[in-house]
């Protein structure tokens, strides 16, 4: 990261925003910056300004349509089918870290492609892909990177750290604005994908919060989180 120690805080944030827009930050710095966006409107404005500047370069390059099957191939490499694994992903720390790095790489590549293509003619079109860094809460040590693709209506989770808890399950929650948390389902042990029900698809957008709680085996019996929130983070459009 090319941020000098002697520049002011506002200048530092401007440089970070530019590097974020270009996909130049390290995975850790990128996740930290993304986590700040939901709470710091000024930072989001800096990012929007840099994206607008870089978008002006689009006229100098001929748009190239990526292969239709490209995204599916990336997903296939990052999220191997459960029946092809010898053990569940909870059991392999190396696999956790590899999936997390891969998910962040997809986010960086997708953001870069978005900067290189013209903006949609209709500004009301919602982002169809989101990423969220779910950071550990209250010293839980549990962290995920979550990636949502509207085309498949699925949230894919790449664990960064944490471990399974005997006779307990992790459960994924959607918090839209000030609304109460809504369960998206128990996070499967043998695979890293949670399907999003149709009623929730309209609520899952940029600015929504994804949270993970530790619940009794099988999930919350009440429809609301009963155990501690172990990881939390805002969804960012990519």
For the chain, give the DSSP string: ----TTS-HHHHHHHHHHHHHHT-S-HHHHHHHHHHHTT-HHHHHHHHHHHHHHHGGGGGS---PPPTTHHHHHHHHHS--GGG-SS-GGG-HHHHHHHHHHHHHHHHHHHHHHHHSPPPSSTTPPPSEEEEEEEE-TT---EEEEEEETTTTEEEEEEEE----TTEEEEEEEE-TTSPPEEEEEPPSS-SEEEPPHHHHTT--TT-EEEEEEEETTS-SSSS--S-EEEEEEEEE-
What's the pLDDT at 230?
93
Whole-prediction pTM value?
Answer: 0.52
Q: Report if residue 217 sits inside a domain.
A: yes
What's the pLDDT at 191?
58
pLDDT along the chain (238 residues), means of 10: 52 86 84 84 82 67 68 67 48 49 48 43 54 86 87 85 88 91 84 84 89 94 93 86
CA 21 – CA 30 distance, rounded (Å): 10
Domains in the chain: how many in total? 2
Is the domain of 186 the same as that of 102?
A: yes
Is the domain of 13 the same as that of 121?
A: no
Written as six digits, the tokens of 138 are: 């209250």
The count of other CB atoms within 10 Å of the CB of residue 21 is 23
Q: Report if residue 17 sits inside a domain.
A: yes
What's the pLDDT at 236?
86
**Domain ends where: 37, 60, 83?**
60
Is the domain of 41 the same as that of 82?
A: no
What's the pLDDT at 63?
66
List phi, psi (to 5°) of 192. Answer: -115, 40
Written as six digits, the tokens of 210 are: 């994804």
User: Which candidate, 129, 155, 167, places its Cα nearest to that of 212?
Assistant: 155
Is the domain of 80 the same as that of 197?
A: yes
What's the pLDDT at 72?
72
Is the domain of 18 the same as that of 37?
A: yes
**Domain ends where: 32, 60, 88?**
60
Identify whether the C-beta of residue 90 lies closer than 8 Å to the C-beta of residue 189. yes
Q: Report if residue 174 sits inside a domain.
A: yes
Q: Report if residue 3 sits inside a domain.
A: no
Is the domain of 95 the same as that of 178?
A: yes
What's the pLDDT at 158?
80
Is the domain of 130 the same as that of 37?
A: no
Domain of 38, in residue numbers: 9-60
Is the domain of 43 the same as that of 91?
A: no
Is the domain of 117 the same as that of 135?
A: yes
């Amino acid at each position: 990261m090319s941020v000098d120690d002697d520049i002011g805080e506002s200048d530092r944030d401007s440089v970070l925003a530019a590097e974020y827009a270009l996909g130049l930050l390290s995975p850790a710095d990128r996740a930290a910056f993304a986590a700040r966006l939901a709470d710091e409107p000024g930072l989001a404005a800096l990012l929007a300004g840099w994206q607008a500047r870089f978008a002006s370069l689009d006229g100098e390059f001929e748009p190239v349509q990526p292969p239709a099957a490209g995204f599916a191939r990336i997903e296939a490499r990052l999220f191997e089918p459960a029946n092809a694994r010898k053990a569940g992903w909870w059991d392999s720390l190396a696999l956790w870290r590899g999936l997390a790095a891969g998910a962040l790489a997809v986010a960086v590549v997708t953001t870069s492609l978005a900067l290189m293509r013209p903006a949609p003619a209709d500004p009301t079109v919602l982002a169809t892909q989101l990423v969220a860094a779910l950071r550990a809460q209250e010293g839980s040590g549990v962290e995920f990177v979550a990636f949502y693709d509207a085309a498949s209506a699925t949230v894919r989770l790449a664990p960064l750290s944490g471990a399974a808890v005997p006779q307990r399950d992790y459960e994924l929650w959607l918090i839209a604005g000030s609304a109460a948390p809504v369960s998206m389902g128990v996070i499967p042990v043998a695979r890293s994908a949670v399907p999003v029900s149709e009623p929730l698809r309209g609520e899952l957008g940029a600015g929504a919060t994804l949270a993970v709680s530790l619940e009794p085996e099988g999930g919350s019996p009440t429809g609301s989180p009963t155990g501690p929130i172990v990881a939390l983070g805002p969804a960012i459009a990519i």
